[in-house]
Amino acid sequence: MSFKTLILAAGKGTRFKSDLPKVLHRVLGKPMLWYVVKAAKEAGAEEVVVVVGHKRELVEEFLNSEFPDVKTVYQKEQLGTGHAVMCAKELLDGYRGKLIVLNGDTPLVQPEDIRKLSETEGDMVVLTAKADNPTGYGRVVREGGEVSYIVEEKDAKGEEKKIKEVNTGIYAFDATKLFEALESIDNNNAQGEYYLPDVLKVFKERGWKVVPVVAEDFSNFVGVNNRHELAKVEKILLERIVKRHQLNGVTIHNPEAVYIEPEVKIGRDTEIFAPVLIKGRTKIGEGCSIGAFTEIRDSRIGNNVKVETHCWIEGAILEDNTSVGPFAKLRTGTYLESKARVGTFVETKKARLKRGAKANHLSYLGDCTVGENTNIGAGTITCNYDGFNKWRTEIGKNVFVGSNTLFIAPVKVGDNSLTAAGSVITHDVPENTLAVARARQVNYKGKAESIREKARRRKNEHSGKDS
């Protein structure tokens, strides 16, 4: 059945003690609100509307960038969840279908939960769950099996507080009836707010059908009101993500110490040695091995790639059969063609290493191309920055770059050339050429002994003075 969704996200989140609105606090790299909007969309909502209020510009900026088709309505003052829904009345004017209301602070909600609710008959369908620890949630008070009302924690008295069935804050309403019922609620309660759950009584008084649906698993509906709860929710989500990858054929050693964000994709037979952080839109292929203490962000990694321990890889593309690390830093714009290798203490940025090219140790390769099968000697640096501008170094194929070569960019080295160790290359090197750019060595025979003799003399004179 078709439905629209309204997500309440105007609250400040006082209990977060933060300058950032609560719904923008991140769970595994994504704002809580991202998860809720995504669940609503995946459930098939024909329209998603978000109620914004506190620091609305920040929430709207996030929505515009991630979900440009989501509409927002403004709740100027946060007078309660019932009042928040009222703010959407005008936008939804004339909509006669089902309206699913969700809280922006329950990021674990699943599309299936929303779909199930949308398919349940009733003028007000309220999703409830049994919580081991119901503290903080609205309690569902039943009489003879039927729900008679929902009471908030702060208003609950003795017996009510002991009730374990809680309001998840997720409901499906007949939109027309909802906006009508909202006219009749008041704010005579402990918080002086217009509570959305209070419409339940109004629905019942009017003889409209109220249907409770009890969810099987409360963990999908944990509300996040402070950073402790944020961490709990993040843990639950992480466990789910890890399990999904494991069941898809990824081996994760020490899974308690792995951090994988929700959009990460990992191919089968890849092995991960935690602690590891894999973030953003990273995609890792099949048969790879990712070493411990490595962080990978927004990168694309092919098949059979070996990333050793202690690497940092951001915005990079690694083709099949490449290898990296240990202790390598691959920054944005790094592109390793197949069989290329970047080794220990090598930093790359906007560097393309073509097929089979290697930089095994201690190098900085920035704004450069390294041709096929070229070998970069230890200590090589592309001097890409002159204090004002960045310049490129282009190195051809089958080049042997001697250790400790400095390339003063812009500079080009032709195919099959060599640079002598310790060279400072300031001019282009043609093909098949040896470039030597360092002072020639001079050997002074017998000079070693005469220098030592001089030193000895000086030392004796000195010690004579002291005594």
Identify which of residues 31 and 377 has a Cβ nearer to Ca ion in the complex: 31
* Contact flag: residue 187 with ligand UD1 (CB under 6 A): no
The three state secondary structure string of the chain is: CCEEEEEEECCCCHHHCCCCCHHHCEECCEEHHHHHHHHHHHHCCCEEEEEECCCHHHHHHHHHHHCCCCEEEECCCCCCHHHHHHCCCCCCCCCCCEEEEEECCCCCCCHHHHHHHHHCCCCEEEEEEECCCCCCCCEEEEECCEEEEEECHHHCCHHHHCCCEEEEEEEEEEHHHHHHHHCCCCCCCCCCCCCHHHHHHHHHHCCCCEEEEECCCHHHHCCCCCHHHHHHHHHHHHHHHHHHHHHCCCEEECHHHEEECCCCEECCCCEEECCEEEECCCEECCCCEECCCEEEECCEECCCCEECCCCEEECCEECCCCEECCCEEECCCCEECCCCEEEEEEEEEEEEECCCCEEEEEEEEEEEEECCCCEECCCCEEECECCCCECCEEECCCCEECCCCEEECCEEECCCCEECCCCEECCCECCCCEECCCCCCCCCCCHHHHHHHHHHHHHHHHHHHHC
Q: How many residues bind ligand UD1 (CB under 6 A)?
A: 31
Provide the mask over 221-260, with x wherever binding to ligand UD1 is found by CB under 6 A and - wherever it is not: --x-x-----------------------------------
* Contact flag: residue 10 with ligand UD1 (CB under 6 A): yes
Identify which of residues 134 and 377 has a Cβ nearer to ligand UD1 in the complex: 134
Q: Which of 3, 4, 5, 8 binds ligand UD1 (CB under 6 A)?
A: 8
* Contact flag: residue 407 with ligand UD1 (CB under 6 A): no
Q: Which residue has the tokens 């990992």?
A: 266
Identify which of residues 136 and 333 has a Cβ nearer to ligand UD1 in the complex: 136
* Contact flag: residue 105 with Ca ion (CB under 5 A): yes
Q: How far is the CB of 197 from ligand UD1 (least distance, A)?
A: 5
From Ca ion, ligand UD1, none, interface partner of 80 (C-beta below 5 to 8 A by class):
ligand UD1
Q: How many residues bind Ca ion (CB under 5 A)?
A: 3
* Contact flag: residue 103 with ligand UD1 (CB under 6 A): yes
Q: Which of 6, 9, 108, 147 binds ligand UD1 (CB under 6 A)?
A: 9
Which listed range, 32-40, 88-96, 99-107, 431-439, lies at the site for Ca ion (CB under 5 A)?
99-107
* Contact flag: residue 108 with ligand UD1 (CB under 6 A): no
Identify which of residues 233 and 357 has a Cβ nearer to Ca ion in the complex: 233
Q: How far is the CB of 169 from Ca ion (least distance, A)?
A: 7
* Contact flag: residue 152 with Ca ion (CB under 5 A): no
* Contact flag: residue 5 with ligand UD1 (CB under 6 A): no
* Contact flag: residue 51 with ligand UD1 (CB under 6 A): yes
Identify which of residues 78 and 360 has a Cβ nearer to ligand UD1 in the complex: 78
CA separation for the pair 118, 206 (Å, rounded) = 22
From ligand UD1, Ca ion, none, interface partner of 197 (C-beta below 5 to 8 A by class):
ligand UD1
CA separation for the pair 324, 296 (Å, rounded) = 12
* Contact flag: residue 197 with ligand UD1 (CB under 6 A): yes
Q: How far is the CB of 60 from ligand UD1 (least distance, A)?
A: 14
The closest residue (CB) to ligand UD1 is 138
> Is residue 210 a contact partner of residue 121, using CB atoms and an 8 Å limit?
no
| Residues of span 225-244 touching Ca ion by CB under 5 A | 225
CA separation for the pair 244, 233 (Å, rounded) = 17
Q: Which residue has the tokens 């719904």?
A: 23
From Ca ion, ligand UD1, none, interface partner of 9 (C-beta below 5 to 8 A by class):
ligand UD1
Q: Which residues are catalytic?
A: 361
From ligand UD1, Ca ion, none, interface partner of 177 (C-beta below 5 to 8 A by class):
none
Q: How far is the CB of 243 from ligand UD1 (least distance, A)?
A: 25
* Contact flag: residue 223 with Ca ion (CB under 5 A): yes
The set of residues, in sequence order, having a beta carbon less than 8 Å from that of 344 and lying 6+ positions away, is: 325, 326, 327, 328, 360, 361, 362
From ligand UD1, Ca ion, none, interface partner of 374 (C-beta below 5 to 8 A by class):
none
Which residues of the shown chain bind ligand UD1 in the complex (CB under 6 A)? Answer: 8-11, 23, 51, 53, 75, 78-81, 83-84, 103-106, 137-138, 150, 152, 166-169, 195-197, 223, 225
Which residues of the shown chain bind Ca ion in the complex (CB under 5 A)? Answer: 105, 223, 225
